[in-house]
Structures are given as C-alpha cells and as structure tokens.
C-alpha cells in the first residue's frame, strides 16, 4: 500500500516534470514553427486575424457561364451552412426606412429603387432640420416613399451545383471563405531569385567555409605550439593571448575598419574572411585539447625520426576529430550569423557581396508588406545552422558544457 502510493507520487512528479519541460520546449520552438509556417503562406493569409498556424488558400471553383474560377464562401441558406461561389461582388445596397419611423427599415438594391417624383424632380423631406431625398420603395406590393439610411455593398453568392437557382446576397467581408491548407514553397524561390538571397546564401557559405578552414589551420598549429613545443617567450605570448579573450569585438570595429580601408578590402568578401582566421580563442581551445594528448606516443614518433609536422598530421589530427569538429561548429555559427561587421564593411548598395544577414536587413525594409517573404528569408538564414547543430550536436553541446565547467 505504501509502495503503491510512493509509485503514484513518483508518477505524478514525473508527469509534472514532463509538463514543465514540454511547456518550455514549446516556448523555445514556437517562433521557429511560426517562421516556417508563415514562410509558406500567401501574403493575405499572413495578415489574417486571428492568426492561424497552417498556411491556407481560398478555394475557387469553376462554374458554368463564368470565365474565371469563383471563390467559395460559407453561406447560410435556410439555416444550413453551404458552400456557395461568389459570382459578383460590390453590389450596392441601401437600407431604407420611412422618414418618421427609421427603425422599420428594409434593404433594397440601389438599382431597384427610383427617386420619388422622378430623377429630375425628386421629392425631399426634412429630418432633424436637414433635407433628405425620398425614394419609392416597394414593400409587400405597396410603394412607400422612404429615405436612404445607410448604404453598404453585398456579394451575390450562387450555388455552384445549380447556378440558375435563386442567388443569396450577403456581405462579402463578413462571410467566411472556404479555405484549404496549402503550402507555397515558391516563396523561397522568389526570395532567392528576386531578393538576392541566392547570392547572399552562396557568399555566406563561401565566407563560412573559408573562415572555418582557415581558423582550424591556424589554431591547430598555434595550439600545438603552445601545448607541446618548448620555446622562449611561449608562456608570455600565451598569457597575452589569454588576456585578449575577454575583449569584446566592438572594441576593434573602428580601427579594423580603418585598416580595411588602408588595405583596400572594404566592400570585399576578403574583409569578412581574412581577419577572422586568426583567433586567440580558437588557439586557446586547441591548446587545451592538445595538452591532454599523451606525450609518450609523440616521443616515440620523434625517436623514429618523424618531424613535428608529420606527428601533427599523422598522429595528433586524426585523433582530434571531435575537438576539431567542435571548433568547426563554433566557428561556423559565428561566421554564419555575424552581422555588425558585414554591416559596417560591406556597402548596402553592393548587393553582389552581401551575406545573408545583410540581405535580410535589406529585405526587411523592402518587403515589409509581405511577411511571408521576410520569414522565408529568415528561414534560409536560420535553418542551415540548425542542421549543422543537429549533425554536430553530440560534440557541440558537450563542449559548450565543458567550457562552463572549466571557466
């Protein structure tokens, strides 16, 4: 009995744990879902309130006697909800009432109602001190002069199965359209081809690949020198490297800009690649990794006459793939997502050298009435790093975790 209740409490608490975790997971994931679903919508659908998750399109139907397919709406006929096609919209309707009893109103098409006394000599009545025109309105076979209280428009809805039957008239905007879920991957095509996201994606990939490769090479060599080779000045330089890790990048943005002006790299992709290849942080991480590598293997290889370079290439690098993958992932994310430096160094007008973040910044201003395109662009920038993350997850998360413990 006691055991049973203990288990029950355990079950309840586990349920609570999963509830809390799932709740937070939904908060974390919701913006991503929203981004993806919106990126597949049509513009009209993105502005709908209340918002809906899945992208939808209005349904149209081909009706005999009409050239264009007609949009379908839900229409209530004799208390039954039916799908009717909108044959004609913007039909003007007036709400008419006798001048002395405005609550007793009727609805008539403007075209059906004639001015009282003819067009040339329309009779008028004074209501609340103002002269108002009178119209002949037929009610139950009787013609009564009435005033126009209000004017609206309605649409003519017909039964698609039976177009000849009596149409239904009702307000189009208040009617609920018939919609089905449909995805529009062509949004991606549009941003890639028309909004420069294609070139930006290529440039970002190129820059990222070069930065990752370059940084791996320099930090592997530098890290190895710090970890394994003894030379005068090593520890001084290492302390110097360590000291600069804390310095935020914005400190460098002005002088680095002027340096780029001096070299002539402004507006060129080189400015996004070359300065980023040499990092103290990457070298530090590599050094931390190499220092854990057993010395004995290396010493044996040295006795066999292997050069330092051969040892690095044939023994140490093959054994360090996880560490290299971790650093590659870090660098990938940093290079892929960077914004302030490209913003400073690449001109807004020079679209052929834009990277994704810059292209998004331009798209934001240019496509503010089509959120579907903006979010398709955002997805192009966000999804590749997510894929890399999912592939390199094992290395990446563990190592982020590791840096925290050591720090």
Partner 1 sequence: MTAQSRVDAQTNLIVRVHMIWRILFALLAAGTVYMMWTTAAETSLWQKIVLSLTAVAAAGFSVYGGVQISKRNHVGRMTSLVLDYLGFVACFVFALNVGEFFIGIDALGQTFGKGLPYLGITILGYFLGALEEYFPGKKKSPESSLKVVSRWVMIGGFILFLWQVDAVKGVIYFLGKLAQPTGLIAIVGLVIFGLSLWSLNRTNISLALNTKTGHEQIINGWLFLSPNLIGFLIFFAGPLLLSFYFSFTDSDAIRTPNWVGFENYAKILNIKFVTLDSPDQLARDVVDIKIYDEVGRFTFGNTGILFAAADKFFWLALRNTLTFVLFVVPLSVIPALVLSNILNSKLPGMKFYRAVYFMPSIAAVVGISLVWQWLYNATIGYINYFITLGIEFWNNLFNVAVVDPKIQWVSDEKTALFAIIIIAAWQTMGFNTVLFLAGLQNIPGELYEAATVDGAGAWDKFWGITLPMLAPTTFYVVSTTTIQAMQVFEQVFILMNPPEGPNNSTITLVLYLYRSGFQNFQQGYASAIAWVLFIVIFGLTLIQFQRQRRSSIYES
CB of 87 to partner 1, least distance (A): 30
**Of 96-104, 141-149, 292-300, 357-365, which part binds partner 1 (CB under 8 A)?**
357-365
- Residue 143 CA: distances (Å) to CA of 98, 186, 264, 345: 11, 57, 87, 78
| Residue window 197-236: x/- pattern of binding to partner 1, with contact defined by CB under 8 A | -xx-xxx-xx---x------xxx-xx-xxx--xxxx-x--
How many residues touch partner 1 under the rule CB under 8 A: the total is: 113
- Tell whether residue 265 is a contact of partner 1 (CB under 8 A): yes
Token pair of 205 as six digits: 């990939």
- Residue in this structure with the two tokens 């005068």, named with its chain if needed: 232
Note every long-range contact of 215-218, with CB atoms under 8 Å and residues 24 or more positions apart, other chains counting. Answer: 215/276, 215/277, 215/278, 215/279, 215/282, 215/327, 215/331, 216/282, 216/324, 216/327, 216/328, 216/331, 217/277, 218/277, 218/278, 218/279, 218/282, 218/283
Q: How many CB atoms lie within 10 A of CB 74?
A: 13
Residues 41-100 within binding reach of partner 1 (CB under 8 A)? 46-51
Q: Contact between 294 and partner 1 (CB under 8 A)?
A: no
Q: Does 353 bind partner 1 (CB under 8 A)?
A: yes
To partner 1, the closest distance from the beta carbon of 400 in angstroms equals 6
Find the binder of partner 1 among 66, 169, 241, 293 (CB under 8 A): 241
Closer CB to partner 1, 65 or 233, in the complex: 233
Contact flag: residue 336 with partner 1 (CB under 8 A) = yes
Closest CB to partner 1 among 99 and 270?
Answer: 270
Query: Site for partner 1 (CB under 8 A): which residue of 141, 294, 349, 407?
Result: 407
167 or 385: CB nearest partner 1: 385
Q: Is 303 in the site for partner 1 (CB under 8 A)?
A: no
Is the CB of 86 or the CB of 379 nearer to partner 1? 379
52 versus 81: smaller Cβ distance to partner 1: 52
Residue ranges of alpha helices (H) inside 246-279 are 253-263, 270-273
The answer to whether 184 contacts partner 1 (rule: CB under 8 A) is: no
Q: Is 267 exposed, middle or buried (0-12, 13-18, 19+ CB in 10 A)?
A: middle
Strand partners, 146: 135
Integer Cα distance of 135 and 60 in angstroms: 38
Among the listed ranges 84-92, 95-103, 115-123, 334-342, the one in contact with partner 1 (CB under 8 A) is: 334-342
The footprint of partner 1 on residues 5-34 (CB under 8 A) is 14, 17-18, 20-21, 24-25, 27-32, 34
316: contact with partner 1 by CB under 8 A: no
Alpha carbon distance 39, 49 (integer Å): 17
Nearer to partner 1, 77 or 263 (CB): 263
Q: Which is nearer to partner 1, 25 or 127 (CB)?
A: 25
The alpha helices in 264-370, defined as continuous H runs, are 270-273, 280-290, 295-303, 308-311, 317-319, 321-337, 340-345, 356-366
């Amino acid at each position: 009995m006691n055991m049973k209740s203990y288990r029950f409490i355990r079950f309840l608490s586990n349920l609570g744990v999963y509830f809390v975790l799932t709740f937070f997971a939904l908060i974390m994931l919701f913006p991503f879902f929203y981004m993806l679903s919106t990126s597949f919508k049509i513009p009209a659908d993105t502005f709908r309130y209340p918002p809906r998750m899945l992208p939808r399109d209005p349904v149209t139907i081909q009706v005999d006697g009409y050239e264009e397919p007609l949009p379908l709406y839900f229409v209530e006929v004799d208390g039954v909800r039916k799908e009717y096609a909108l044959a004609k919209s913007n039909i003007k309707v007036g709400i008419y009432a006798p001048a002395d009893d405005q609550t007793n109103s009727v609805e008539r098409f403007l075209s059906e109602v004639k001015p009282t006394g003819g067009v040339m000599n329309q009779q008028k009545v004074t209501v609340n001190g103002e002269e108002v025109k009178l119209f002949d309105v037929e009610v139950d076979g009787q013609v009564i002069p009435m005033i126009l209280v209000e004017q609206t428009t309605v649409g003519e809805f017909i039964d698609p199965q039976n177009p000849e039957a009596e149409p239904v008239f009702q307000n189009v905007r208040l009617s609920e359209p018939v919609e089905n879920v449909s995805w529009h991957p062509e949004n991606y095509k549009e941003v890639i081809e028309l909004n420069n996201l294609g070139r930006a994606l290529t440039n970002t990939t190129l820059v990222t690949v070069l930065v990752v490769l370059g940084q791996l090479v320099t930090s592997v060599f530098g890290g190895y020198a710090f970890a394994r080779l003894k030379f005068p000045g090593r520890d001084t330089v290492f302390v110097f490297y360590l000291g600069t890790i804390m310095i935020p990048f914005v400190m460098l943005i002005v002088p680095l800009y002027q340096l780029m002006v001096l070299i002539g790299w402004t507006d060129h992709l080189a400015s996004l690649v070359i300065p980023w290849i040499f990092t103290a942080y990457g070298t530090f991480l590599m050094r931390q990794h190499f220092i854990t590598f057993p010395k004995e293997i290396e010493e044996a290889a040295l006795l066999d006459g292997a050069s330092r370079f051969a040892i690095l290439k044939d023994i140490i690098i093959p054994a360090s793939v996880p560490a290299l993958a971790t650093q590659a992932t870090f660098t990938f994310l940093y290079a892929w997502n960077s914004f302030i430096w490209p913003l400073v160094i690449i001109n807004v007008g020079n679209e052929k050298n834009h990277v994704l973040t810059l292209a998004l910044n331009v798209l934001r201003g240019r496509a503010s009435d089509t959120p579907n395109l903006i979010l398709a662009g955002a997805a192009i920038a966000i999804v590749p790093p997510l894929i890399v993350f999912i592939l390199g997850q094992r290395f990446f998360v563990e190592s982020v975790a590791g840096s925290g413990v050591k720090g």
